[in-house]
């Protein structure tokens, strides 16, 4: 093989490798890196998890037990929050949740100022599908209807089934 043929082969090989290696870059290579967390967290602390938050797993023991035609299925657990679906005959009828308001102080303030009470705790109804109470001046306990058959009185009854005294001592 002549020098000119070898040179052409090397140039062709080099170009092919450049195209191959350049083509291996994923689309994410063109995306700029995300900004530091302190730039994307709202100034009021919403969305940020406080270092004082109780682990979500600590809340599970305070949820009402499954009974009769109702089944409780835990769906989410993270620092400062735990959630479970409430099912009746296999259908989702409500969501049950406990959250640490150190992460969302505005939620605690809204409940603190409420004149409504459920089991002695400040309570509030939001729209036609959500009822919540403030326990121990820190924990928001919430029941959200997922079925039109699950009424405000159902939500209040299920709020009363949480271990509210135990939660208040947490």
Query: Does any domain span residue 33?
Result: no
Is residue 13 in a domain?
Answer: no
Q: φ, ψ for residue 160 (rounded to 5)?
A: -70, -20
Domain-embedded: residue 37: no
pLDDT of residue 29: 46
Q: How many domains does the chain have?
A: 1
Whether 1 is covered by a domain: the verdict is no
Residue 8 has, within 13 A of its CA and on its CB side, a CA count of 5
Structural domain of 94: 56-168
Instruction: Spell out the per-residue pLDDT of the chain, length 170, in tens.
Output: 665 665 665 556 555 555 555 555 544 445 444 444 333 333 333 456 777 889 999 999 999 999 899 999 999 999 999 999 999 999 999 999 999 999 889 989 999 999 999 999 999 999 999 999 999 999 999 999 999 999 999 999 999 999 999 999 99
Tell me if 119 is assigned to some domain: yes
- Is the residue at 20 inside a domain? no
Which pLDDT value is given to residue 14?
57
Give the global pTM.
0.71
The answer as to whether 45 is a domain residue is no
Cα Rg for the chain, rounded, in angstroms? 27
47 occurs within a structural domain = no
- Check residue 38 and give its pLDDT: 33
Sign of torsion, CA 118 122 126 130? negative
Query: Considering only CA atoms, which of 51, 46, 86 is closest in space to residue 65?
Result: 86
């Amino acid at each position: 093989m002549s020098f000119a043929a070898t040179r052409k082969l090397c140039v062709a090989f080099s170009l092919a490798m450049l195209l191959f290696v350049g083509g291996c870059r994923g689309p994410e290579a063109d995306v700029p890196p995300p900004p530091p967390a302190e730039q994307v967290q709202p100034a009021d602390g919403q969305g940020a998890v406080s270092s004082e938050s109780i682990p979500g797993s600590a809340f599970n023991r305070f949820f009402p037990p499954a009974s009769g035609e109702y089944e409780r299925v835990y769906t989410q657990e993270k620092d400062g929050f735990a959630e479970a679906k409430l099912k009746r005959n296999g259908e989702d009828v409500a969501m049950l949740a406990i959250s640490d308001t150190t992460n969302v102080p505005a939620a605690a303030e809204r409940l603190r100022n409420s004149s409504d009470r459920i089991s002695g705790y400040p309570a509030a109804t939001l729209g036609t599908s959500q009822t919540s109470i403030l326990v121990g001046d820190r924990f928001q306990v919430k029941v959200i209807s997922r079925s039109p058959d699950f009424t405000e009185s159902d939500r209040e009854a299920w709020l009363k089934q949480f271990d509210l005294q135990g939660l208040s001592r947490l």
